[in-house]
Structure 1
Amino acid sequence: MLVLTRKTNQSFMIGDDIEVQILGIDGDQIKIGIQAPKDIDIHRKEIYLSIQEENSEAVQEASLEKVINFNKQFKR
């Protein structure tokens, strides 16, 4: 893990086209701004993990449905 120290209004780059700027610090909360291309999804980690879990469940359900449909073809 890379650990950086930044002050308000300072920023850092991720790759060539993602800029993360420190907008403000209030107690134990930090307000950040992220400039990135529109085709890059940005989510809080808990939302990202929730999306990944939902996608995994959807794939499992779709796979189960395919197996059931495949088996129905041979039960005729």
Structure 2
Amino acid sequence: MLVITRKKGESILIGDNIEVTIVKAEDGTVKLAIEAPKEVRVLRKELYNQVKDENKNALKGDLSILKQIKK
């Protein structure tokens, strides 16, 4: 894992075609701008994990997720 320090307006490059720019950093949060080709999927990890878990439960026949959606 690479850990670096960046200030507002500074960027990092991932490969040749993905750029992550710091837009705002204050009060313990950071706002990022991500420029990537359309074919590159960019997701928040917690959302990705939630969808993965829901898909796994759906394959098991767990209907509790459907009950949550109904609420």
TM-score by length of 1: 0.69
Q: CA deviation at 1:60?
A: 4.9
Report the equivalent of 2:22. 22
Report the equivalent of 2:66. none
Question: Percent identity of the aligned residues?
Answer: 43
Q: CA deviation at 1:58?
A: 4.4
C-alpha offsets along residues 20-70 of structure 1, whole Å, 9 cap, x if unaligned?
A: 000111220111100011111111111010122233344555xxxxxxxxx
Report the equivalent of 2:65. none
1:5 equivalent to 2:5? Answer yes
Higher helix share: 1
Moved segments of 4+, more than 2 Å: 54-61
User: Over aligned residue pairs, what C-alpha RMSD do you find?
Assistant: 1.5
Bigger Rg over Cα: 1
Q: CA deviation at 1:15?
A: 1.1
Give the residue type in structure 1 aligned to 2:40.
Answer: I
Structure 2: gaps (5+ residues): 62-71
TM-score by length of 2: 0.73
Aligned pairs, number: 61
